[in-house]
Structure 1
Amino acid sequence: MAVPAAASVRDANRYRPPEVTGLVDLLDRQVRERPYARALVVTGERVQLSYRALASLADEVADRLGRAGLRRGDAVGLICANTAEFVVGLLGAARAGLVTAPLDPALPDSQLASRIAALGARAVLVDASGAGVGVGVGVGKLPVPVWPLRVDVSRAGTAAVVLAAGVCEMAQVAGAADELSDADALVLFTAGTTDRAKMVPLTHANVAASLRNICATYELGPDDATVAVMPFFHGHGLFAALLSSLASGGCVLLPERGRFSAGTFWDDMGAVDATWFTAVPAIHEILLDRSEREYPGPQAPPLKFVRSCSAPLNTATQRALERTFGAPLLSAYGMTESSHQATSEPLPQRGTLRQGSVGRPTGVEVRVVDRGGRPCPVGVEGEVWVQGPTVARGYLADGDESARTFVDGWLRTGDLGVLDEDGYLSLTGRIKNLINRGGEKISPEHVEDILAGCPGVAEAAVFAVPDAVYGQRVGAAVVLREPDGLDREEILRYCRAHLAPFEVPDHLELVTALPYTAKGGLDRKAVQVRYAPP
């Protein structure tokens, strides 16, 4: 697929793989070689924090956590937005030998308490700066000590850390923490409700392998900078934006109040001369819809590439983004259980971009297998399996689910896909999402991609509608780019021209917005509840 030339192309000889073994030494090379280079740009005043300053803050947090009585291998929760407090808390805990579980600050207190208890965390760090939503956590509702963390940053770039860490009692902690050791770096929760979210332990070795893969794929280095768009409590924002940037010596701007804002995005990008950014398709759609009045055009920083991950991106949006931003848009694929990235499209100078593909494996092995676990021939659909140094060992406190998902070192992703003759992976749907209409298996993701290509359609969600005759029929909720721009019959006419008859929606609703998860993916459960007829 032809794409616009990147505004600047890195000299391959300048790329240096990161020297990291995990979170503990993430900053070490930069502190040795470039101590005063900017690592973070923080607060509404866009103050620069150097690698030396960031490392000093992390060391101070590590010392205070140790003096509070925490032991190597203990688990701590971290409830912060994308703020300096998150970064300092994460790296400080790692330097103290602790295992950190980032948690979504927007979760209800009851869900936060349930996850902390299930993990067996010894304490929880929350953002006390007033800039992040973590400050609103109901302290009394959490089952362990809650320690406010604040990073005071001056306009001159000097910083001090305030951590009110009391003495942590050494009582035995219930939960899954006894399955952890100081070889572990993180516990990430998969997307889902409290009852369904699974705990994924990732070692420092998993983290290091993931960062090496991401940095190598995009040839990230000290000349690169980005804006943190995705939340750090999920792998997309944590690995792809924050940790890979710090491992490679780049810079990350943390938006004011620690949350993405489309209204300030391009000002933020210009403030750090950003060379790339990564986001989910829903945010790419927002930026594209607002680009006519907000994209600064020639005044925008020249981008090497734009990255999309965590959900399917329809090809019409991809082409429009490339035309608008003048940079290739690279689709990537990964899961929490694979320490985020498993495949990605390459930089244009390193390979070809293929429409509908999520690229080639990056440091892992990828198979597409049939129901018996046998590799499928090229071009034949099957389940995607992943194996390699980034894959987790299993789930905490869930042996049955671990046995189903992790088989002989392979991660069964639950995604459907095909591999081509050059090893490029194209995803075709989720096994559990398939709609069975009288024996015909229909991929909602495929129908959504067709709907999104209909002129005037902004986005779509496809779901199963119960049916007494066929078992299930196809339903769809569609958001229009302009109110009253299309009617249902015009959309269905387009579908009939581009879909098999059994794939055309039998039930179609025009809606103003679709629900999304905190991770940025379509919330299919909410879609089903809201739009499926009784």
Structure 2
Amino acid sequence: MLDQNWREEVVIIAVPTAASVSDANRYRPPALTGLADLLDRQVRDHPHARALVVTEARAHLSYHALAALVEDVTGRLGGTGLRRGDAIGLVCANTAEFVVALLGATRAGLVVAPIDPTLPASQMSARIGAVGARAILLGPPAAGDAPVAQADVPSWNLRVDISPAGTATVELETGGPVVPPVRGARHDLSADDALVLFTAGTTDQAKMVPLTHANVAASVRDICATYELGPDDATVAVMPFFHSHGLFAALLASLASGGCVLLPGQGRFSADTFWDDMRAAAATWFTAVPAVHETLLDRSAVEYPGPQVVPVKFVRSCGAPLNTATQRALERTLGAPLLSVYGMTESAHQVTSEPLPQQGPLKHGSVGRSTGVDLRVVDDHGHPCPPGTQGEVWVHGPTVTRGYLADPGGTAQSFPDGWFHTADLGFLDEDGYLFLTGRIASLINRGGEKISPEYVEDILAGCPGVAEAAVFAIPDAVHGHRVGAAVVVEREGEGVGPEQILQYCRQRLSAFEVPDRLEVVAALPHTAEGGLDRRAVDALYAH
């Protein structure tokens, strides 16, 4: 059983419960087989509905216009010498070019590997080589970013132009049909595959995750069904599309359900324009990591226009633990539920989610129930744990990848029996809600006591005046490790010092869990996806 004093809080909040489809019991998720037919139903049934809102002018691109651009790119790629099942890189910010390139290439039978456009040349080349990409589709960088580093394979520039009259055209400079020899993981791919995504981390740590069209279709259907997304819904793209969070939850689920996605004019999230973007899109929801939610909450007193101007139905949080104090504060501010989600690249993003209010209660501190996968929490012997007992989280189902590309050892370790062994720790309650308690690899061993840094971080973040916290292991000759912490304080909490924070911890943590060393810092490092960068934290403070 858990020895930590965990507490679940069941919350019923007064929010509008009207979903995109008037009768929730009749909701049917979109029927699709993968990325190749993602737009087909909308082009048939709602060709003139908004699919995208793009550029700083916030031009509207209909499903009919988007499909025409996609078909154009599909045709042009057909003359390059690429064959079905070949890998192609996609290096682009969150712009119309990304969407057109992704859908055009997959419709041509290619396997697309989206790559962070801000990577340095060495990491860019390493990822392109590892996946065996035979060319790169190159879109414009985000505002303020340097031009994309040159890679070792042909880079084909793709540009979408939308005239003031609303007509859209695409230019694709392929430079002829010559392609380089096959390298990397190409022979592990087939025409059944749609994507290769890189897990978060540095180049030497990131793993390549192949996802089939069937994986994609199952994930998109599950996300749409969880939130009952439909043609009346719209969102603003906050998270980058080269990671599964932004790609599946914001972009693909919206397009599959006939909704609309606004792509910020800068090509990436900007807190300065976010609420104007939400209003321009008539957005009904959005999804982000906790760091973004914290930023929006901090600025809400001045910038948030109010629920009458932007009446969102729900907000979604994924990518890192969400502090319950932040969750409650945002729900009060927005007048809408903030739903915590558990997802990962290996499962084509979403695994669990808190439900919409009309579908079940919110339990603050949990990440909700399974949304289409089989979920287990097991002990060290692989036996299912009783409710309330901590163990490793295992996942199995139609969204889960078959393994890692070019990494048989990693595949054997993480997928030994068809189940993905996540290395996440957690427990299920009596209602099947999952509560995450940490990562196996990040446990701190202090004199034989196992300490979850995520749990201590959650306690620290609940201290008045603390905005964010990072907990790490400090090597110690006697105990093996001691517990260290770095915290960021809110502006109004600048008078809060280490001793006040530690006193708060002593009242809520076991003695061995209380940080031995705590320092207040200006900021903490984050990954490209918005989560806490633990390797960088260790390098900065764990000494």
Q: Which residue of 1 aligns with 2:51?
A: 39
Instruction: Report the CA distance between 1:5 and its aligned residue.
Output: 2.5
Write the distance in 1 (CA, Å) between the matches of 2:236 and 2:481: 43
Change in CA separation of 1:325 and 1:3 when aligned onto 2, cut-off 3 Å: farther
Counterpart in 2 of 1:225?
A: 234
- Quote the offset at 1:407 in angstroms: 2.2
Partner of 2:402 in structure 1?
393
**Contact 1:3 1:322 survives alignment (8 Å):** no
Give, in angstroms, the shift of residue 155 of structure 1. 2.5
Question: For 1:202 and 1:439, how far apart are their aligned partners in 2?
Answer: 40
Partners of 1:14 and 1:262 in 2: CA distance: 37
The answer to whether the 8 A contact 1:65-1:93 is kept is: yes
Deviation track 1:497-516 (CA, whole Å, cap 9, x = no partner) reads: 11111000001010011100
Instruction: Output the CA distance in 1 between the equivalents of 2:276 and 2:179.
Output: 48
Alignment RMSD: 1.3
Quick check: 2:124–2:149 contact (8 Å CA) kept in 1? no
Change in Cα spacing, 1:286 to 1:115, as seen in structure 2 (3 Å) is same
Give, as a single letter, the amino acid of the residue that structure 1 aligns with 2:29.
P
Q: Give the structure 1 partner of residue 518 of structure 2.
A: 508
Determine whether 1:284 maps to 2:293.
yes
Alpha carbons 1:44, 1:256 under 8 Å: kept = yes
1:138 has 2:185 as partner: no
Residue 61 of structure 2 corresponds to residue 49 of structure 1: yes
Instruction: Render the CA deviation track for 1:323-348: whole Å, top value 9, x for unaligned.
Output: 01110010010110000000001001
Cα distance in 2 for residues equivalent to 1:55 and 1:359: 35
Letter matched to residue 89 of structure 2 = G
Residue 64 of structure 1 and its aligned partner are, at CA, apart by 0.7
1:497 paired residue among 492, 507, 526: 507
Tell me if structure 2 keeps the 8 A contact 1:102–1:233: yes
Select the residue among 373, 384, 388 that pairs with 1:379.
Answer: 388
Between 1:209-218 and 1:479-488, the stretch displaced more is: 479-488
Amino acid at match of 2:206: A
- 1:132, distance to aligned residue in structure 2 (A): 5.7
Aligned CA distance change for structure 1 residues 170 and 452 (closer, same or farther; 3 Å): closer
For the 8 Å contact 1:15–1:221, the answer to whether it is kept is: no
* Change in CA separation of 1:529 and 1:428 when aligned onto 2, cut-off 3 Å: same
Structure 2 residue 31 is the aligned partner of structure 1 residue 19? yes
| TM-score (normalised: structure 1) | 0.97
In the alignment, the residues of structure 1 paired with residue 50 and residue 17 of structure 2 have an alpha-carbon distance, to the nearest angstrom, of 21
Cα distance, 1:134–1:238 mapped onto 2, change above 3 Å: farther
Corresponding residue of 1:354: 363
Answer yes or no: is the 8 Å Cα contact 2:254–2:260 preserved in 1. yes
Q: Determine the C-alpha separation between the residues in 1 that align with 2:347 and 2:157.
A: 31
Match of residue 376 from structure 2: 367
Q: Distance in 2 between matches of 1:212 and 1:133?
A: 36
2:437 is equivalent to residue 428 of structure 1: yes
Give the TM-score normalised by structure 2. Answer: 0.96
1:41–1:47 Cα contact (<8 Å) kept = yes
How far the C-alpha of 1:90 sits from its partner, in A, is 0.1
Listed as ranges, the matches of 1:180-195 within 5 Å are 180-195=189-204
State the SS of the aligned residue for 1:462: strand
Q: 1:390 to 1:21 in 2, by over 3 A?
A: same
Partner of 1:88: 100
Give the letter for the 1:295 counterpart.
Y
Secondary structure of the residue that 2:358 maps to in structure 1? helix
Contact 2:425 2:438 in 1 (8 A): yes
Q: Which of 109, 121, 132 matches 1:120?
A: 132
Please state if 1:2 is matched with 2:7: no
> Which residue does 1:456 correspond to in 2?
465
- Counterpart secondary structure, 2:325: helix
2:483 maps to a residue whose letter is V
Structure 2 counterpart SS, 1:407:
coil
**Could you tell me the percent identity over the aligned residues?**
71
* 2:42 partner letter: Q
Correspondence 1:265 to 2:274 = yes
Aligned counterpart for 1:61 among listed residues 66, 73, 77: 73
Q: What residue identity is the alignment partner of 1:84?
A: A
2:216: which partner in 1? Answer: 207
What amino acid sits opposite 1:46 in the alignment? R
In structure 2, which of residues 329, 334, 347 is the aligned counterpart of residue 325 of structure 1?
A: 334
The answer for the alignment partner of 1:517 in structure 2 is 527
State the AA in 1 paired with 2:126.
S
Gaps of 5+ in 1: none
Instruction: Work out the CA distance in 1 between the residues paired with 2:149 and 2:453.
Output: 39
Q: How many Å separate the matches in 2 of 1:133 and 1:489?
A: 41
1:143 Cα offset (Å): 1.2
Structure 2 partner of 1:487: 497
Cα distance in structure 2, aligned partners of 1:58 and 1:134: 26
Taking the aligned partners of 2:461 and 2:299, their CA distance within structure 1 comes to 17
Amino acid corresponding to residue 458 of structure 1 in structure 2: A
Deviation at 1:271?
A: 0.4
Which of residues 406, 410, 414 is equivalent to 2:415? 406
Q: Is the 8 A contact 2:90 2:137 kept in 1?
A: yes
TM-fit CA distance, 1:456: 0.5
The one-letter code matched in structure 2 to 1:430 is: R
2:115 aligned partner, one-letter code: L
Distance 2:221 2:210 in 1: 19
**CA offset digits 1:79-123 (Å, max 9, x no partner):** 001000000000000110000000001111110011001111010
In 1: Cα distance, 2:236 partner to 2:340 partner: 18
Contact 1:79 1:134 in 2 (8 A): no
Contact 1:379–1:418 under 8 Å retained in 2: yes
- Cα shift at 1:170: 5.1
Q: Which shifted more, 171-180 or 386-395?
A: 171-180
Equivalent pair of 2:12/2:361 in contact (CA under 8 Å): no
Q: Which amino acid aligns with 1:15?
A: Y
Q: Deviations over 1:122-155 (max 9, x none)?
A: 1001114x6567871122xx11100011000123
2:447 to 438, 449, 452: 438
Q: Could you tell me which runs of 5 or more consecutive residues in structure 2 were left unpaired when the two chains were aligned.
A: 1-9
Aligned to 2:481: 472
The CA distance in 2 between the partners of 1:209 and 1:131, in whole Å, is: 30
